[in-house]
């Protein structure tokens, strides 16, 4: 029985580990957007760095957006941002 327990635990840990880096999604209103630093600040005050692929700098305060974010080091990077109507 012990011969099966350790490999089973190892398999579960290895299966769950990649999920720690999975993207999270959010829908929020924009508090501010700095086009120079490409930093998005939602109404909750957290900050997200826009990905290099982001070209549109016309985000306005109060505008609703939906995006996915990942943690790169200590910086949250926003990806696949979509302006909601």
pLDDT-derived band of residue 9, with 50, 70 and 90 as boundaries?
low
pTM of the model: 0.66
Query: Domain with 36 in it: what CATH number?
Result: 2.40.50.320
User: How many distinct structural domains can be found in the chain?
Assistant: 1
pLDDT of residue 32: 93
Q: What is the pLDDT of residues 16-37, one digit of tens each?
A: 555 455 678 888 999 999 888 8
Full residue range of the structural domain in which residue 52 is found: 22-83
pLDDT of residue 18: 52
- The DSSP line for 27-68 is EEEEEEEETTTTEEEETTS--EEEPTT-------TT-EEEEE
Q: Does residue 68 sit within a domain?
A: yes
pLDDT of residue 63: 92
């Amino acid at each position: 029985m012990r011969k099966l327990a350790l490999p089973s635990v190892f398999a579960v840990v290895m299966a769950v580990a990649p999920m720690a880096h999975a993207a999270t999604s959010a829908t929020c209103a924009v508090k501010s957007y700095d086009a120079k630093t490409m930093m998005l600040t939602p109404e909750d005050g957290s900050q997200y760095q826009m990905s290099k692929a982001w070209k549109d700098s016309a985000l306005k305060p109060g505008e609703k957006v939906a995006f996915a974010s990942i943690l790169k080091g200590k910086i949250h990077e926003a990806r696949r941002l979509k302006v909601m109507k």
